[in-house]
Structure 1
Amino acid sequence: MSTLRKVTRIFKRILIVLSVLVVVLTIATFFYMRQDKFGALPEGKRLELVKSSPHYKDGRFRNLVERPTLTKGYSMPGVLYETLFTKFPNRSPVDSLPSIKTNLKSLDPSENAYVWFGHSSFFLQVDGIKILADPVFSGKASPIPGSVTAYKGSDIYTVAGLPDIDYLLLSHDHYDHLDYETVKALQTKVKYVVCGLGNGAHFERWGYTPKQIIEKDWYESVEVKPGFKILTESTHHDSGRGFTSGQALWLSFLIQAPSMNIYYSGDGGRDDRFKTIGSKYGKIDWAIMECGQYNKAWQSVHELPEEVALATQELGARNLLPVHNSKFTLANHPWKEPLEKITALSKNKSYRLATPMIGELVQLDNQQQQFKEWWKTVN
């Protein structure tokens, strides 16, 4: 047998093996992604409502101003290569993060309070209404086991420790904001879910009743009680839990309570919305702003710290609470950099920066409450 024929036979065998591996992997992926944790796509009347939105065009939801996800000069292969093969120091803490276990069930119902659970999960009690946003208590932020896990000390709360919740707010359906295990365990504790159009499909698959789910487009409102509204605003981001993106809408929120206005940014890159929202509502007492898991490469969908500081000023907010940090590693920057940078950038600004530890009770009516720069002592 000639050398050429031998090489040809070997090459064919390699192709056959590779083809079999691809088929096996495809089948395995198909069945793996049929698990409940991947949620569901809108269909039927929900899909008709999605398609009727002015923000749904050409088969998906769109941002107000379309721009590439990757910044000019970056490529997806280049970003993937850098992430996989470049070593970035201090992306995760070595030490356990300091935290406080506040008993949320024993709070004075007349107290206006905020408790942060790390990343973008937080609890609000305002004018007697209990609100929970983007809860992730499973210790992970990815459908791939062991890939994105919570830092030591950052995952001290469980669903069992929460009181009954009047409104669960979902900014969007990415895994670090919508957690299957947490949301499923919360079903009997939550009165209503407020989410963007299309997201209700996830909640219904996970056992929530249609009466519990309130799906909204941008610029709509939910009447909580007289003088108390939850308003849905835009942001510049995306959605998706599988290979199909943009089928559920992403939101930011303005909580317009009798005693104060609170804005939650959700995730999203910079645009003119902060000026618009600031002008629209006149007074924002607290701004809960995404600040972390950023990169110059994907700046269009996640703000850099200097943009967070500017946005807070454009909102006209009196106080800033930075979130989207200190629980998961989803970017290449050092884990404490978002807090270091926003602290430096917030000096002598028109707003007051509040940096509570995970679980620390923030007294929303107390402008004199002091907060430590707790990350400085953590390696």
Structure 2
Amino acid sequence: MQILLVLIVLTAILTFFYMRQARFGKLPAGERLARIEKSAHYKDGSFRNLIEKPTLTAGHSILGELYKTLFIKYPNRSPVDSLPSVKTDLKNLPIDNNLIVWFGHSSFYMQLDGKRFLADPVFSGSASPIPGSVKAYKGSDIYTAQEMPEIDYLLISHDHYDHLDYETILALKNKVKRVVCGLGVGAHFELWGYSPEQIIEKDWSEKVEVAPGYTIFTESTHHDSGRGFTRSKALWLSFLIQSPTMKVYYSGDGGHDNRFAEIGKKYGAIDWAIMECGQYNEAWQSVHELPEEVAQATVQLQAKNMLPVHHSKFTLANHAWNEPLNKITEFSNHKPYRLATPIIGEVVHLNDHAQVFTKWWEAVN
């Protein structure tokens, strides 16, 4: 018993000092916290979803899900083969071309009417602060921060490790003009050396004026945040980018609710929807959509084209690694939108309605 107690104390001490590393970020304080406390979505010390509901679906428990993850072997959770990819020279893409390049999981580069965007970049090869855990699949991590061009707007949906990557953010510091993120997330960026002038922190239903007729709208999602043991101290976002010629929506992470229908009504038909589709489980359906819900949400958004993301780089759930692509392909049959399934690094031409995408995952073991 004494040995066990000593081990527990030592573990607690080591954890305390390990979590003092800069990679864990910083909680909002001072003027930043004062602004957060004025938000209608902040209550009793935490941000809240518009419709509050339990994270775990009825009939599931934390212990039960932990047992399944630790002791039940689920098949095909990670690919054996290297994933196919294309190395595109991002710095020399003509700036007047409207395009998206997906890097696996939720990271993507976008050019839209002369502006360059980078969303939730993770180029470190890991989605966890614990060394050796949650590593990128072979072939899925071929891009680096150094290969990015100068970025006009870095979009951060929330501060979880698979969306806000410490090493990547440090490496991008001199390439990024502006960061657009949720209230509170800017505390991490300032700790990591970004200037206050670079950081634009927004609440839901706010906007960033890019140029005349060109706006980034920050909208809600149903999720949470946190990089340590404290949760929901910084806000999670989705984005609607309205350029002079096109509307693009990025969902960020979050479970299904009526926001998609409301966003569709608010902004009208959306040209491209970039939708979270992967790392889901019926047990936590409230904070990560199932594929059938992704298809439903895309219809509610009145989207003409849909690019599924949040898959094919990290294993963060118990489903087969290729299940999200198989299911979203199935559920997209006979829907009014076109499904785009590029390989990592492939250029998606936003104005090319005839571009063909393959079922590349079917050839990967």
Question: Is TM (by shorter chain) over 0.5?
Answer: yes
Given the alignment, which residue of 250, 262, 268 partners 1:264? 250
Given the alignment, which residue of 202, 205, 221 partners 2:191? 205
SS of 1:310's partner is helix
In the other structure, the counterpart of 2:132 is: 146
1:233 aligns with 2:201: no
SS of 1:143's partner is coil
Structure 1's consecutive aligned runs of 4 or more residues displaced over 2 angstroms after TM superposition are none
In the other structure, the counterpart of 1:376 is: 362
Provide Cα deviations, 1:87-113, integer angstroms capped at 9, x if missing partner: 000000000000001111011111001
- Provide the C-alpha distance between the structure 1 equivalents of 2:286 and 2:334, rounded to a whole number of angstroms: 27
Provide Cα deviations, 1:270-326, integer angstroms capped at 9, x if missing partner: 110000000000120000000000000000000000000000000000000000000
SS of 2:116's partner is strand
1:222-371 aligned at under 5 Å gives the runs 222-371=208-357
SS of 1:289's partner is strand
- Provide the C-alpha distance between the structure 1 equivalents of 2:67 and 2:309, rounded to a whole number of angstroms: 28
In the other structure, the counterpart of 1:26 is: 12
1:47 aligns with 2:27: no
- Provide the C-alpha distance between the structure 2 equivalents of 1:163 and 1:18, rounded to a whole number of angstroms: 52
In the other structure, the counterpart of 2:75 is: 89
SS of 1:230's partner is strand
Structure 1 length normalisation: TM-score? 0.96
Structure 2 length normalisation: TM-score? 1.00
1:165 aligns with 2:148: no
Provide Cα deviations, 1:138-178, integer angstroms capped at 9, x if missing partner: 00000001110000000000011110000000000000000
1:34-113 aligned at under 5 Å gives the runs 34-113=20-99
Q: Could you list the runs of 5+ residues in structure 2 that have no partner in the other structure?
A: none
Amino acid at match of 1:301: V
Amino acid at match of 1:71: T
Per the TM alignment, residue 75 of structure 1 is displaced from its structure 2 partner at its CA by 0.4
Amino acid at match of 1:358: I
Per the TM alignment, residue 208 of structure 1 is displaced from its structure 2 partner at its CA by 0.2
In the other structure, the counterpart of 2:178 is: 192
In the other structure, the counterpart of 1:9 is: none
Amino acid at match of 1:173: D
* Identical residues among aligned pairs (%): 70
- Provide the C-alpha distance between the structure 1 equivalents of 2:169 and 2:193, rounded to a whole number of angstroms: 10
Per the TM alignment, residue 21 of structure 1 is displaced from its structure 2 partner at its CA by 1.0
Amino acid at match of 1:147: S
Amino acid at match of 1:195: C
What is the root-mean-square deviation of aligned Cα atoms in Å? 0.4
Provide Cα deviations, 1:330-358, integer angstroms capped at 9, x if missing partner: 00000000000000111111000000000
- Flag the structure with larger Rg: 1
Amino acid at match of 1:363: H
- Provide the C-alpha distance between the structure 1 equivalents of 2:209 and 2:308, rounded to a whole number of angstroms: 27
- Provide the C-alpha distance between the structure 2 equivalents of 1:273 and 1:265, rounded to a whole number of angstroms: 10
- Provide the C-alpha distance between the structure 2 equivalents of 1:374 and 1:173, rounded to a whole number of angstroms: 30
Provide Cα deviations, 1:63-94, integer angstroms capped at 9, x if missing partner: 00100000000000000000000000000000
SS of 1:120's partner is coil
SS of 2:26's partner is coil
Per the TM alignment, residue 18 of structure 1 is displaced from its structure 2 partner at its CA by 1.4
- Provide the C-alpha distance between the structure 1 equivalents of 2:18 and 2:60, rounded to a whole number of angstroms: 32
In the other structure, the counterpart of 1:137 is: 123
SS of 1:293's partner is coil
Amino acid at match of 2:349: Q
- Provide the C-alpha distance between the structure 1 equivalents of 2:283 and 2:268, rounded to a whole number of angstroms: 34
Provide Cα deviations, 1:118-155, integer angstroms capped at 9, x if missing partner: 00000000001000000000000000011100000000
Matched pairs, number: 365
Amino acid at match of 1:362: V
SS of 2:293's partner is helix
